[in-house]
Structure 1
Amino acid sequence: MAKNKKYDAIIIGGGTNGLLCGAYLARAGLKTLILEKKLEMGGGLLTEEIAFPGFYHDTHAIYMTMLDYAPAVQDLELTTKHGLELIFPEVQVASLGKDGSSICLYNDVDRTCESFRRFSEKDAKTFKELALKFQGWVDDFLAPYTYVAPIPTLELAAAMERTEMGKEMFALTEETPKDLIETWFENERIRALMLDAVCFWGLDPEQSGLGYLVPLYFNRSYNNRIVKGGTHQLSQGLTRDFLQHGGHSKTVQIIDHIIIDNGQAKGIKMYDGTVYEANTVISTLDMNQTFFKYIGEKIVEKDFAESIKMWMWEHWSFLSAHISIDGPPPQFKAAFKNPDIEKALIYTVGCESVSDFMEQAGDIKAGRLDKFIIHSSFPTVFDPSRIRSGGGTVALLQMHVPYDINEGKKWEDYSYDDRQALADKMVDTLLEYASDFDRDSILVQYVSSPWDIENKLPDMVKGSFKQGMYHPLQMGYMRPNAECSNHRSPIKGLYMGGACTHPGGTILLANGFLAAEVLLEDLGKEKWWNTHELVSKARAKGMPL
């Protein structure tokens, strides 16, 4: 066997978590190979010239919600060495009314309270109290827990009951996001804004058992960053770090199967017959692909196979219109009363009451495309580098939609004209809130459906953006199941490091790091990084980490 085809570790998938895991392993001195199916690394960190020449759109991930906590930013020198720049807009979210009114979430709590005060003095006071409390919860537990191995559910619950914060946090668990928001706030516009904000990343508004996550999403709703130059700059930084420390990568790779010998992972056989040997394999794919497609259901234990079959995917996804505009973004009516509106990162329209939000949620569950609540962003307001050809605007219009449509047509059957009609309706909905916009300035509308997400990123089954539903039975120690909860699998030498594992999806820079950590522990190798400060501080306060 050729020497260059033997490795210490092989990682399946060169997305965010594959690159992250690879960078930590390469710095630890392991000869590591990443195999990627696509032409280049990065996964959902996609910045593409997809609509009009010279206009660069983030076509999957755009909002970075946890990078201010992610240890990898410092460990891998992403900002100091690899040039990662994060932009943190002051106006995070602007919820617009047809009457020209607006409510804003700022990255400054006091300014948000000023905005709320125009609608409800009581809600402004409540927001400040909750914001201060939840910031402590995020700092002391929710963020640190994102970057450590999960603890068995009953053990974690018992430990949290020994702290006042833990008792209060776990008391929220059985509450639904809708019930919590309606309990905390009295004004309908504010309720709509906050319910939309905490559910944006996939919490079902009527799902109990995950109430402890509401404070996290409450806090993160006004802590979004975007990457200067596009999210692909983050994957480029991870790739550079991996390669500079001796990592190996191969793209356009079609895997035939994971080699298993006497219950031990031994490498990867490719479709063309090439074999890459290693006693350690890390899969960042979902459970179905890893164990059924690339190993075989007959090889894994029956009970384990049944647990994989029970995996639940999200019932909603995103319909996105990536629009290149030859001119400025729309000017919104609300800007006449509040000029800050012109510099909002996210604009929400069509959601002025809880009933508006619940109507869309009901449509999604029923497979309908009736209620349009649009989230839009114009990244070039903050980052002109996304246009190479001079002036103009990069725009994103996005809405939650069902994957399964109950009208006799599947997403893959939507023609170009069908897609453009949906984009036109999204634009029409947005422009109901605008006072000035030249529609002829739209150069191109590129429409991405849930099927397109699944087709481009096979891990994102049903257009999933978290590699699996957030559900009480699929979170923490149960993500993806008890057998793989600590990133090890029942097969010796095979590890799981994708978004189907703890702590979940979106760009957290966590799953691949945690997989690398347990792998090095199993190999008896010392970590080259120190325990991170946020974790050390939380442990010093008695948090069960």
Structure 2
Amino acid sequence: MSMAYDVVAIGSGHNGLVAAAYLAAAGRKVLVLERNAWFGGGVVTRELTVQGFKHDQHSVGHIFIQANPLIRNDELGLISKYGLKYIYPEVPLISVFDDGTTLSLYRDRQRNYQELAKFSQRDAEAYLKFSEIAAHYLPMLIGTLYSAPVPMGAQFAMMDQSPEGREMFATMMKSSWEIITDWFEHEKTRLHFARMVGENLASPEELGSGISLFMFLGFMEKYGIGIPVGGSGALTAALIRCIEDHGGEVISEVDVSIIETKAGRASAVLTHDGRRFEAKDAVIGGIHPHLLRGYLHEAGVAPHVFERAERTTTSPCACITIHASLQEKLQFKAGNHVDKAAFIELLPVSIARFRRSFDDVRYGELPKDPLLALASPTNIDPSRAPMGKATMHAWAYVPFEVDGRPAAYWDEIKEAYADRLLERMSPYFHNLSSNLIIGRHVDTPLDMQRTSPSFQRGDLHGIAGHQHQFGAHRPTPDLGRNTVPGVDRLYLVGPFQHPGGGVFGAGRAAAMRVFDDLKMNFSQFNKA
């Protein structure tokens, strides 16, 4: 059986949906195929524990998409027409230390100054200068995030033309930890900012992570963290409504087996159950570089393209997550002010223990001091649970393969390890016990890979954010501009493409490439 469309998208991750939505809004007949029974990839809200409790299975807060013209200018009407609504907590992130003290990161710079001054007046003064640099960098960074990346050679050559550009280049090459220790002196200040940038699935000591520190801080102050009303999947739902409103289709439980090519051009997709969907104009593929060969093995692509793609590396920092439905809201010993934060970091007052936790994961060991963080979305959006009840989403970094064992070992230990993590968390709360938890759902790195092929080895960002997998070289120089050499009209989307993992809405860049190739006018969406 064969059916014809203008554009066929493989996978319903938010990046693919964004690209498909722009094309549907421009009048193309669009089909999105999803292998799971649910839509959204990493941007999904499900009743994972018991009925009536909505849990964000992967992404919780939407940070980087807030500056995307998709949201900032509401280019597709997701906010004005299709029901998407964000709440922006005044405290995007708070560090709760094991001695009962806290350090909040506000959207307001002066309040951050006051917070830091509790521990170090010198750090508070340094922060004012530091945040000014972050604000100065932010427009330049934003200018690179939502369209196809500039070739790396041209980017570095341009930066080398001015002292400011050279300073920014040096920042890009440094580790976040080096920058933090250069600027700040107090142990808690250093831990606070190191943990913030560590949310990027990488140790702050990793070379090349320096610019992330300024980017995170710049975004937190200017945009905050957007918490979608109803759950992270509200973004997915709005995109699907947009596609369907423009005549497109989004279908679940359809597993694509191969991309058919004709005369060097992607022309159709075939499914495991024997269906064929013709794509007259384009195929959009949320296809991890490790899996690309399997979809294109007869397409005549040069072998080195696949070989380089398969050599891309994932982050050693995979995640384990615990989703829980609760009888009542969590009660923090540090005080009720913690409830206002979107992300809550639980930290030992020990830089050595903090750093060794990342080292343990790098060596394939379960951390002796796991770094725990959580969100309790019902504190921000009570609609996600029955009245008076609450939800919790906790996470920690762990290796994909523990102590050299096969990844399947996680199936044996995940519940016991989740118990251990909850036990480590309990001293921070008055009421975190088995009596509080109505139901729970645990996802290990292996579970995440099973849930989405984009999360190979449990890497929620697809591949690591190393400098050689950055910008126009993400995931490889061959594939870094959303296309595959040797196959016209095939466009790649996903967290493993520029600008990286997280909720960026980066399918906009892929859509722009399609528009260019089809001689369509993307500026019709420009509402600035």
- Shift in CA distance, 164/482, structure 1 to aligned 2, threshold 3 Å: same
Q: Residue deviations 1:78-123, cap 9 Å, x none? A: 1111121111111222212232211111121211211110111011
Q: Give aligned pairs, total.
A: 521
SS across alignment from 2:5: coil
CA contact (8 A) 2:146 2:509 kept: yes
Take 2:19 and 2:399, find their aligned partners in 1: how far apart are those partners?
32
Take 1:149 and 1:316, find their aligned partners in 2: how far apart are those partners?
27
CA contact (8 A) 1:256 1:271 kept: yes
Match of 1:536 in 2: none
> How far 1:289 moved relative to its partner?
2.1
Take 2:266 and 2:194, find their aligned partners in 1: how far apart are those partners?
45
| TM-score, normalising length: structure 2 | 0.94
Match of 1:445 in 2: 440
> How far 1:297 moved relative to its partner?
7.4
Amino acid at match of 1:78: L
CA contact (8 A) 1:193 1:352 kept: no
Amino acid at match of 1:289: L
Take 1:364 and 1:221, find their aligned partners in 2: how far apart are those partners?
27
Take 2:90 and 2:51, find their aligned partners in 1: how far apart are those partners?
30
CA contact (8 A) 2:318 2:445 kept: yes
Q: 1:382 aligns with which of 369, 380, 383?
A: 380
- Shift in CA distance, 114/405, structure 1 to aligned 2, threshold 3 Å: same
CA contact (8 A) 2:86 2:228 kept: yes
SS across alignment from 1:93: strand
Q: Residue deviations 1:424-475, cap 9 Å, x none? A: 2222222212345564122122111111111111210011111111011111
CA contact (8 A) 2:330 2:429 kept: no
> How far 1:22 moved relative to its partner?
0.7
> How far 1:131 moved relative to its partner?
1.2
Take 1:125 and 1:297, find their aligned partners in 2: how far apart are those partners?
61
5 Å matches for 1:86-485? 86-138=86-138, 140-163=139-162, 165-221=164-220, 223-279=224-280, 280-290=282-292, 292-296=293-297, 299-332=300-333, 334-335=334-335, 339-369=336-366, 370-387=368-385, 389-406=386-403, 408=405, 410-415=407-412, 418-437=413-432, 439-485=434-480
Where structure 1 has 5 or more consecutive residues not aligned to the other structure, the ranges are 534-545
CA contact (8 A) 1:320 1:447 kept: yes
- Shift in CA distance, 251/120, structure 1 to aligned 2, threshold 3 Å: same
SS across alignment from 1:394: strand
> How far 1:178 moved relative to its partner?
1.4
CA contact (8 A) 1:349 1:429 kept: no
**Would you say 1:519 and 2:518 are equivalent positions?**
no
Take 1:446 and 1:148, find their aligned partners in 2: how far apart are those partners?
37
- Shift in CA distance, 300/105, structure 1 to aligned 2, threshold 3 Å: same
- Shift in CA distance, 54/304, structure 1 to aligned 2, threshold 3 Å: same
Take 2:269 and 2:317, find their aligned partners in 1: how far apart are those partners?
34
**Would you say 1:55 and 2:50 are equivalent positions?**
no
> How far 1:234 moved relative to its partner?
0.8
Take 1:431 and 1:270, find their aligned partners in 2: how far apart are those partners?
47
CA contact (8 A) 1:487 1:497 kept: yes
Take 1:297 and 1:208, find their aligned partners in 2: how far apart are those partners?
39
SS across alignment from 2:143: helix
> How far 1:532 moved relative to its partner?
6.8
CA contact (8 A) 1:255 1:271 kept: yes
Q: Residue deviations 1:249-287, cap 9 Å, x none? A: 222112221112232211112223222112421111212
> How far 1:320 moved relative to its partner?
0.9
SS across alignment from 1:356: helix
Take 1:297 and 1:211, find their aligned partners in 2: how far apart are those partners?
41
Amino acid at match of 1:284: G
Match of 1:542 in 2: none
CA contact (8 A) 2:426 2:433 kept: no
- Shift in CA distance, 274/442, structure 1 to aligned 2, threshold 3 Å: closer
5 Å matches for 1:80-91? 80-91=80-91
SS across alignment from 1:162: coil
